[in-house]
Amino acid sequence: MVTIKDIAKAAGVSPSTVSRVISNHSRISKATTEKVKRIMEEMGYHPNLMAKSLVSKTTNALAIVLPRPAEELFQDFFFGELLRGILAHSTKAGYDMLLSAATSPNDEQETISRLVLGRRVDGVILLSARQDDPLIELLANHDFPTVLIGRTEGHDNIITVDTDNIQAAYDATLHMIKQGHTRIGFVVGEPNLTVSVDRLAGYRKAMVEAGLAINPEWIVDGEFLQQSGYRAMSFVMNIPERPTALVVIDDITAFGVLRGLNELGYQVPTDISLVSFNNIALAELASPAISSVDIGTYQLGYTASHLLVRRIQEHLTSQARNIIPHRLVVRESSIQDFHKRGN
């Protein structure tokens, strides 16, 4: 392991000078700079990042905290796309990303304390928000640079990047209403995630504004669906006044819905229309292709990293709440004509 001292000795200068050359310090003669750089090259010098961190009190690393249970999350392309956006920026900004998963809630607290209070990272990105998340509490109390993808209340030192999920669900539902549907159902997700709460609210809002009734039986449990798409859909389709359209919490769930309907012999969109959220790559490859609200997932991730780095480097808390625009991508699953035209 070649150190700064070795370089200094070989170059006939002091360690301080070598250090200054490395950090492009201004007042170093060109001659020295060149000589030192040449020798570093020759001797294969690489600065010890730990030593650097210790004295600079920065790590040039960020942590991504995966929502528990990490078991499921990767089943969703959504997180992959989010990671892609985060990494695109953080790599460019010169930050390493630490991926932190926790098995239990206690575990999670401990892991984060260790990383954050142990100064292993300079900032944290939380990938999802629960109601009254103790983790957010912890980070806010320490005023630790944090960006949450999602929303939270009552902590204005936590920067958030989010979709306007109420509006997004409103738009999706309105799309169905415009297609002439009046009996529109909603397939819910995990209830204590804010995203679930918001999307359901947007759906309700659109229905109410359009003067349409909501039959509680039209609200389908997405969790139940996972166990058996067949039975869940069988139940929905046998309600006397069954919905003719469904707004589905996310694309993966929509795949389950599609599958259940298929097994029952129903056609989408002829028998029932579908729209969902996130617009993962496969939504387009489903048969029929699934209409989905594109929430700019990559952009969410990229922006999260960007805001976090800015917060760290410039010590300025930017706007607390940042919204990434969404847009509905209409495909076969919600347009009757698509099929009839044999598209």
In the complex, the residues that contact DNA under the rule CB under 7 A are 1, 3-5, 12-17, 19-20, 22-23, 25-29, 31-32, 47-48, 51-52, 54-57
Rounded to the nearest angstrom, the gap between the alpha carbon of residue 201 and the centroid of all alpha carbons in its chain is 21
x/- track of binding to its own copies for residues 89-118 (CB under 8 A): --xx---xxxxxxxx-------x-xxx-xx
Q: Which does 120 bind (CB under 5 to 8 A by kind): DNA, its own copies, none?
A: its own copies
C-alpha–C-alpha distance, residues 265 and 255, integer Å: 15
And the tokens for 306? 């960007």
| Identity of the residue, 33 or 226, whose beta carbon is nearer to DNA in the bound complex | 33
Q: Toward DNA, which CB reaches closer, 5 or 84?
A: 5
Q: Which is nearer to DNA, 19 or 262 (CB)?
A: 19
Size of the site for its own copies (CB under 8 A): 60
| Contact yes or no for 185/219 (Cβ under 8 A) | yes
- Write down the least CB distance from residue 156 to DNA, Å: 28
Q: Which among DNA, its own copies, none contacts residue 143 (Cβ within 5 to 8 A by kind)?
A: none
At residue 267, φ and ψ (nearest 5 deg) are -105, 140
SS3 content of the chain, % helix, strand, coil (to 5): 50, 15, 35
Site string for its own copies, 182-211 (x = CB under 8 A): ------------------------------
Looking at 23-31, 33-41, 80-88, 206-214, which segment touches its own copies (CB under 8 A)?
A: 80-88
Mark 288-307 with x for binding to its own copies (rule: CB under 8 A) and - for no binding.
-x------------------
∠ Cα 179 181 185 (to 5°): 125
If you write DSSP's letter for every residue of 279-319 in order, what string do you get?
--GGGGGSSSPPEEEE--HHHHHHHHHHHHHHHHHH-----
CB closer to DNA out of 12 and 105: 12
Residue 20 interacting partner from its own copies, DNA, none (CB closer than 5 to 8 Å by kind): DNA
Coil, strand or helix at 238:
coil
State yes or no: residue 120 binds its own copies (CB under 8 A): yes
Of 301, 295, 300, 280, which is closest to residue 91 (Cα–Cα)?
301
Token look-up 């320490």 returns: 142
Instruction: Rule CB under 8 A: say whether 44 interacts with its own copies.
Output: yes
**Closest CB to its own copies among 173 and 273?**
273
Closest CB to its own copies among residues 208, 281: 281
236 binds its own copies (CB under 8 A): no
The reply to whether 77 sits near its own copies by the rule CB under 8 A is: yes
Q: Minimum Å distance from CB 1 to DNA?
A: 5
Q: Do 189 and 253 form a contact (C-beta atoms < 8 A)?
A: yes
Instruction: State in angstroms the smallest separation of the CB of 241 from its own copies.
Output: 27
Q: Which of DNA, its own copies, none does residue 100 bind to, with CB < 5 to 8 Å depending on kind?
A: its own copies
Q: CB under 8 Å, gap of 24 or more: what pairs does 311-317 form?
A: 311/123, 311/145, 311/147, 311/159, 312/58, 312/122, 312/123, 312/145, 317/156, 317/157, 317/159
154's torsion region: left (phi>0), alpha (psi -120 to 50) or beta? left
Among 14, 192, 287, 336, binds its own copies (CB under 8 A): 287
CB 196 within 8 A of CB 222: no
Burial class (CB in 10 A: 0-12, 13-18, 19+), 340: exposed
